[in-house]
Amino acid sequence: IDQDSLDIINIEFKGSANGYNCNYDLKLLDLEQDHLSIPELDYATIIMLPSTEFKKICQDLMVTGGDSMVITVKKNEKMARFTSVGDFGTCNIELEPRDLNDPDGPIMINAGDDINMSFSLKYLCMFTKATVLSEHVSVYFSDRMPVLVEYKTGSSYVRYYLAPKIEDDE
């Protein structure tokens, strides 16, 4: 950020191997709204998988024309199920743990509680744009709490939070 123009950020990418350089001057937004703080939560269930695989799951579920992803994890089973139902059909994807030495990358499923929650598929697909930042993504769940999708990059991270779709019981 240049001190002369505090409303613009300059981002420069230099490709040492291919000679490709890219320079962005992006306008910053000054939003007038209340600060939304997100409390630290102890999530009961964690799924860690290759970020490309999470992106593929989201894209495959979009084919049904559905607007929700239902995630089901049972504490006593070593499996996570991703489901979408839409105008064009139904898609069920089952994900099982994989070893660290697996050529497709490891998958860890740590289920502290049973989970059966629904989230907006549109927003989860938007989150997967961060796939280029990290080889792995961690997805954290607790019943009736926002999902946390975390991409670690170097010594930092990109975190997305998404509230679950909760059906009215009335």
Mean pLDDT of 98-122: 93
Q: Is the pLDDT of residue 152 over 90?
A: yes
Summarize pLDDT for 62-73 with one digit per residue, the tens.
999 999 999 999
Which pLDDT belongs to residue 169? 56
- Interatomic CA distance for residues 87 and 63, integer angstroms: 10
Do residues 10 and 4 touch, judged by C-beta distance below 8 A?
no
Q: Which two tokens stand for residue 14?
A: 């230099």
Which pLDDT belongs to residue 39? 75
Q: In the chain, what are the domains?
A: 45-162 (3.10.150.10)
Summarize pLDDT for 74-109 with one digit per residue, the tens.
988 889 999 999 999 999 999 999 999 999 899 999
The full DSSP string for 83-149 is EEEETTEEEEEEE--B-TT-TT--BEEEESS-EEEEEEHHHHHHHGGGGGG-SEEEEEE-TTS-EEE
SS3 content of the chain, % helix, strand, coil (to 5): 15, 45, 40
- Interatomic CA distance for residues 122 and 67, integer angstroms: 7
Summarize pLDDT for 19-59 with one digit per residue, the tens.
788 888 888 877 777 777 777 889 999 999 999 999 999 99
Which pLDDT belongs to residue 168? 62
Residue 122: what are its φ and ψ, rounded to 5°?
-60, -45
Q: Is the pLDDT of residue 4 over 80?
A: no
- Interatomic CA distance for residues 169 and 154, integer angstroms: 44
Q: Is the pLDDT of residue 113 over 60?
A: yes
Residue 139: what are its φ and ψ, rounded to 5°?
-120, 120
